[in-house]
Amino acid sequence: MSRLHFIWLGPLVTLAAVISYFMVFAAIPALRDFPWLNLPLALLGVALSLAGLFGAFGQGRRLASKIFGILGTLLSVGFLGLFGFYVFVLSYQMPTGETAAGVSRIENFSLQTHRGESFDLASFDGRKVVLVFYRGYW
């Protein structure tokens, strides 16, 4: 395989690293918080693009090879930059579960079920409770 094949192999490897993070590895907490597998794969893609770029500027290469080498490297670096920006900047600006859901502590109260039975909130002491108040049309 000549170095010119690396011109497009690099962006494909980098794009595969980014897509696989969102489709597979973002669901695994240990790999979501820091992309242990995807970041080295994306860096490998950039390295392949750079190797293709250096091959494109070899002696006797056509202008099209040089242009495609530059474009492939820019794509790889762009994918890596967007991926790094999302993982290391945007993902830390997302609200936590407590602030996003409006979690709060409330005092004890009693309610009646639709069967007329009464229960109070203290009976769920020590457990997390989700209260949903729905106004139905019945």
Query: Taking the model in full, what pTM does it have?
Result: 0.66
pLDDT for 71 equals 94
Question: Residue 12 domain-assigned?
Answer: yes
Residue 81 tokens read as 């930059």
Phi/psi of residue 24, nearest 5 degrees? -125, -60
C-alpha 10/C-alpha 74 separation (Å) is 10
Question: Residue 9 domain-assigned?
Answer: yes
C-alpha 13/C-alpha 50 separation (Å) is 13
Q: What is the mean pLDDT of the chain?
A: 85
Residue 68, domain extent = 3-97
Question: Residue 110 domain-assigned?
Answer: no
3-state secondary structure 87-132: HHCHHHCCCCHHHHHCCCCCCCCEEECCCCCEEEHHHHCCCCCCCC
pLDDT for 95 equals 67
Question: Residue 77 domain-assigned?
Answer: yes
Residue-wise pLDDT for 69-79, tens only, equals 999 999 999 99
Question: Residue 14 domain-assigned?
Answer: yes
Question: Residue 109 domain-assigned?
Answer: no
Question: Residue 84 domain-assigned?
Answer: yes
Residue-wise pLDDT for 1-11, tens only, equals 677 788 899 99
Q: How many folded domains does the chain comprise?
A: 1
Residue-wise pLDDT for 83-129, tens only, equals 999 988 988 876 666 666 666 677 888 888 888 888 888 888 878 88
